[in-house]
Amino acid sequence: MTAAVVLDTARTGERAAARSPRWSLWQRWGLVLVLPYVAVFLVFVLYPVGYGLWLARHPASYERLFEDPIFFRTVVNTIVFIVVAINLKMVVALMLSGFLVQDRWWIKILSVIFILPWAVPSIPTILSVRFMLNPEWGVINTLIFRLTGADGPNWLNDPTLALGFSMLMHVWKSLPFWTLILVAGRLAIPGEQYEAASVDGATRWQKFRFITWPSMRTLYLTSTILSMIWTLGDFNSVYLLTGGGPADLTHVLATLGIRYLRLDQVDLAMASIVVALPLVLPLVWFMMKRLSK
Amino acid sequence: MSGTRRWTRRRILDEGRLILIAIPVLLWTLIPIYHLFLFSISSKDSATSGRLWPKEPTLQNFDFVFGEKHFYLNHFWLQLWNSLLIAVAVGAISLFVATAAAFAISRLKVRGGRTVMNLALFTYFIPAAFLAVPMYKTMGNYGILNSQWALILAMVTIASPYCIWVLKQAADKLPWELDEAARIDGASPLQLFRLVFLPLMVPSLVAVGTYALLLAWNEYLYAFLLLSNDRSFTLSVALGAFLSADDSPWELLMATGLIYALPPAAIYYAFRRYMVGGLTAGAVKS
Amino acid sequence: MAAVSFRQVEKTFGSTSVIHGISFDIADGEFTVLVGPSGCGKSTLLRMLAGLEEITAGTIAIDGKVVNDVESKDRDIAMVFQSYALYPHMTVAENMGFSLRLRKADPKLTADRVAQAAKILNLESYLQRYPRELSGGQRQRVAMGRAIVRDPKVFLFDEPLSNLDAKLRVAMRAEIKALHQRLKTTTVYVTHDQVEAMTMADRIVVMHDGRIEQIGTPLELYDHPANLFVAQFIGSPAMNVVEGRVRVREGAGWVEADGGARWPLPSTEGLSDGQAVAYGVRPEHLALARGEAPVTAEVIVVEPTGAETELLVEAGAAQILVVCHGRTEARPGDRIGLDVDRAAVHLFDPASGQALTGLHERATAAAA
């Protein structure tokens, strides 16, 4: 590292570690001001995590966990949920992002309305859909009856349909957020590239393939990974719609822990979370590598 | 502007294509919300009859809710107040914790600042649902289970990391020379914080405080786990409690839900420029 | 008002040493310019004086008191930054009065001092404006105003004119110099522009790679550079330097450069035949000869600048720049003769770069 380079970074203040002596007034205040968060972290993150891991220390818990058919079902549900819901969501987000960047006054209004699912709390809306699905008096079955004269299915009593609707709710709720992120990604692409492509005679698909996608690829990947992590934690979409039923057949990882907790089987609850860590931690590590400096 | 372009066949096809996309998007977005609204202005019979618009739209449900005229709504006002109190407390405390930490890490360059930032980032990525069971047991161990402080502190823990991240990103953008000039002018660390840093961070502070506040207001799982007395419930938990019986007054539930949903919607719309810019920029860096 | 002294000051970042044992003094009221190429350490030295960088070794004293462990705010200094560093959320008046406000000074006193400084700098009508509403030059003046209000012992300037366009720079140079003449505060000014150094300084400290090359008044550095670096750094256009060997024949001497050009010497004192030297002469000390000339050259480029003409010529194997007053009839391709002002010839040892004493009476100190 030449002296000139070293001096250059000094100007931008990045060499501050060398700037203050060990316990100068400024360092002391830094310590004081960072302490509240550190305290919060130690008391409410480190201790609970440590305690949780300690609760999950018995191998016997894991044996019982793996013998529980509900656990196996949960794992399958979770994987299906993630693979289907996330890819569906991200692909739709990608397409809608292209739609929402179009310059029309009515699209601007639409994009403001589009945020609603994200802005509004999920409890009322999920419950609203739950009632729409009610087999006796829900709007959907009533409409089916009026149109076909037949009874509609008991939506939430069929595990596959129930899980499907949970996924749909999840997509409904989180789509706006990811669409907006991808919109931001699209807006970062200089317009001139598209103009040059038009002059060169590119079709809409070619523009997407050769200009849009290369620029958006990384963002799309990072968003998908982050979305995976957060979807693993989506408790509301399943719990409020199906309660994990029928017969505990639509549980996902996020709701399973709570189920064990209510059955007073805390060790199983913790074990089910620990079991998910090999999936979650690599994803988290990936995200941290991308974002931390 | 498009108004001056001619209606060529190409243009009709283009606009048609866009409208063809817009209609399903609009329907998809609004159906659950419209249904919520529909229920809340219908009487019980009308709501469960499957009509698309009630025969006689009524505000009677709201009267029931505001008048606490049902068993499940006995403590509506108290619960609304709880939601508000906890949301504001979480917003304020998260803001305080995060602002102090971001200042220390970004401007004071405190030793170990990078580690703290990484710890916070890690906490942000771990799904909150995973932390729920350990948090529940922990609060029990600390002896504050069933108190509102348990929920407040838990939500602060969940909200702070993202707040610190966003604030640190914003703080890093402030020119370093400002701090140096202030130091030479004679500013102590606190004076620098109060007179130079805070005024320049106001937009980010608003975005972050609002984020934490709404996170707490919207929270269900933690509120449900950590509060057990229906006098200490937040509105979200109260709404969930309706589900325990089969013949609950669904229309009242929806009316309550609508009331519950209005503040976040309003705040998001009021601050959307701050929120979208600040939050999406911080969430994923491409 | 105070004297500043540096004693054996060193600075290392990690394992890289950037300042190697610098010692010099600045007298009370003096306008000292630290000048040198990027990366020479001048800004770092200034920041150490300001208290913005730790001093790895050595001492810095202001007004006789060692300030190594003294906080910036207690050193009684004021600094003007390259990027002005104005507080964007405060008005011009608030910016200028900030330091007094921090010390909880009487608001009336603050207002008076601010008004005074504003008057000196012609900022009176801008006091309620915000920095974003001002031009670059105005912002720079506000930064200076902020420094003046402090009434410090030492003014520090860190390349304050680098962000301004050329014309504004010339105007601001004069303003800063006038300010110094009026307030007579000790000033330490850092720049990479040797023209600024030459026009503004009482004394110049030329720095290179963390060491002092030479300290002197502008004219001392111009007339008697102590080494090749200073010779080629000070003065614009830069001094011509040609490598060659001394030839002494029958009492007459010259320097023979590659390609056979014979450069005249004022005397052969202290020089031996065959000695390798670097021969330096400034473009303005060369002239186009009428008739016989010691050096012949071919004209490559002619650049008239109005008042003067710059000619790039080739003498032997070397390219030489000549600056002459007025116009010339020389054209590219012409063969011309060059007259050399012998009194303005400089000789340097090509290995060490040091000036050969004996030709000139004085060599000013350079810290190794």
**A271 and A182 together in one domain:** yes
Q: What is the pLDDT of residues A75-88, one digit of tens each?
A: 999 999 999 999 99
Q: What are φ and ψ of residue B249, in 5° steps? A: -75, 90
**A51 and A74 together in one domain:** no
Would you call B175 and C103 a contact, using CB atoms and an 8 Å cutoff? Answer: no
Would you call C43 and A8 a contact, using CB atoms and an 8 Å cutoff? Answer: no
**A40 and A139 together in one domain:** no
Q: Measure Cα distances from A43 to A37, B94, B106, B157, C321 in Å.
A: 10, 15, 24, 9, 74
The residue among B282 and C364 whose pLDDT is bigger is B282
Q: What are φ and ψ of residue C3, in 5° steps? A: -85, 155
Q: What is the pLDDT of residues B127-153, one digit of tens each?
A: 888 899 999 999 999 888 888 999 999
Domain C4-227: homologous superfamily in CATH: P-loop containing nucleotide triphosphate hydrolases (3.40.50.300)
- Which residues on C lie below 8 Å from A3 (Cβ)? 16-18, 39, 41, 209-210
| Domain count across chain A | 2
In the beta sheet, which residues pair with residue C240? Answer: C281
Would you call A18 and C43 a contact, using CB atoms and an 8 Å cutoff? Answer: no
A 15-74 near C (Cβ less than 8 A): 15, 18-21, 25
In this structure, is residue A151 part of a structural domain?
Answer: yes
Would you call B200 and C89 a contact, using CB atoms and an 8 Å cutoff? Answer: yes
Q: What is the pLDDT of residues C309-353, one digit of tens each?
A: 999 999 888 899 999 998 888 889 988 888 898 888 999 999 988
In the beta sheet, which residues pair with residue B120? Answer: none
Distance, CA of A34 to CA of B101 (rounded, Å): 4
Q: What is the pLDDT of residues B216-262, one digit of tens each?
A: 999 999 999 999 887 888 999 988 888 777 777 888 888 899 999 99
Whether C106 and C70 have beta carbons less than 8 Å apart is answered as no
How confident is the model at residue C330, as a pLDDT?
Answer: 86
Residue of C nearest to A10 (CA): C44
Would you call B184 and C89 a contact, using CB atoms and an 8 Å cutoff? Answer: no
**A224 and A132 together in one domain:** yes
A23 pLDDT more than 70: no
B11 pLDDT band, cuts 50/70/90, is confident
How confident is the model at residue C326, as a pLDDT?
Answer: 87
A13 pLDDT more than 60: no
Could you give the 3-state DSSP secondary structure of residue C315? Answer: strand
Residue of C nearest to B200 (CA): C89
Best probe of the C interface among B185, B196, B201, by most C CBs < 10 A, is B185
Residue C216: which H helix or E strand, with range?
strand C211-216
Would you call A33 and B108 a contact, using CB atoms and an 8 Å cutoff? Answer: yes
In this structure, is residue A175 part of a structural domain?
Answer: yes
**A103 and A180 together in one domain:** yes
Q: Measure Cα distances from B144 to A43, B225, B226, C109 in Å.
A: 13, 12, 9, 55
Mean pLDDT for C355-367 is 50
Give span(s): CATH 1.10.3720.10, chain B.
74-283
For residue B201 the two structure tokens come to: 């961070």
The residue among B274 and C47 whose pLDDT is bigger is C47
The runs of H, that is alpha helices, within B67-201 are: 76-106, 113-125, 128-142, 148-172, 176-185, 189-191, 198-200
How confident is the model at residue C274, as a pLDDT?
Answer: 87
A264 pLDDT more than 60: yes
Which residues of chain C are at the A interface, by a Cβ-Cβ cutoff of 8 Å? 13-14, 16-18, 38-39, 41, 43-44, 47, 52-54, 71, 209-210
**A41 and A165 together in one domain:** no
Distance of CA A285 to the CA centre of its chain: 15
Would you call C52 and B175 a contact, using CB atoms and an 8 Å cutoff? Answer: no
Would you call C16 and A6 a contact, using CB atoms and an 8 Å cutoff? Answer: yes
Mean pLDDT for A88-117 is 89
Distance, CA of C276 to CA of C342 (rounded, Å): 19
Q: What one-letter code names the amino acid at A84?
A: V
**A128 and A253 together in one domain:** yes
Which CATH fold would you assign to the domain B74-283?
MetI-like fold (1.10.3720)
First to last CA, chain C: 30
Of B125, B164, B243, the CB nearest to A287: B125
Mean pLDDT of chain B: 86
What is the residue range of A237's domain?
Answer: 69-291
| % of chain C with per-residue pLDDT over 90 | 57
Residue with token string 């996170």: B215
Mean pLDDT for C231-258 is 88
Could you give the 3-state DSSP secondary structure of residue C348? Answer: strand
CATH of C233-348, one of 3.90.1150.10, 3.40.50.1370, 2.40.50.140, 3.40.50.2300: 2.40.50.140
C36 pLDDT more than 70: yes
Residue C5: which H helix or E strand, with range?
strand C4-13
Whether B264 and A128 have beta carbons less than 8 Å apart is answered as no
**A47 and A83 together in one domain:** no
Of A123, A232, A270, the CB nearest to B240: A123
Mean pLDDT for C186-211 is 94
Compute the nearest-CA separation of C193 from chain A (Å): 17
How confident is the model at residue B274, as a pLDDT?
Answer: 67
The string of DSSP letters for B9-78 reads: HHHHHHHHHHHHHHHHHHHHHHHHHHHHHHHHTS-HHHHTTT-SS-SS--SHHHHHHHTT-SGGGTTHHH
For residue A197 the two structure tokens come to: 């492509």
Whether A101 and A207 have beta carbons less than 8 Å apart is answered as no
**A42 and A141 together in one domain:** no
Distance, CA of C127 to CA of C223 (rounded, Å): 45
**A110 and A142 together in one domain:** yes
Could you give the 3-state DSSP secondary structure of residue A117? Answer: helix
Whether C311 and C328 have beta carbons less than 8 Å apart is answered as yes
For residue C145 the two structure tokens come to: 């105003």
Give span(s): CATH 3.40.50.300, chain C.
4-227
CATH label of the domain that carries residue A221 = 1.10.3720.10
Give span(s): CATH 2.40.50.140, chain C.
233-348
Distance, CA of C54 to CA of A17 (rounded, Å): 10
- Which residues on C lie below 8 Å from B199 (Cβ)? 89
Chains touching chain A, criterion 3+ CB pairs below 8 Å:
B, C
Length of chain A: 293
The mean-pLDDT minimum among A37-41, B235-239, B277-281 falls in: B277-281
Would you call B184 and C51 a contact, using CB atoms and an 8 Å cutoff? Answer: yes
- Chains A–C, number of C-beta pairs less than 8 Å apart: 41
Mean pLDDT for C174-185 is 91
Enter the pTM of the model. 0.82
A76 and chain C in contact, CB less than 8 A: no
B284 pLDDT more than 60: no
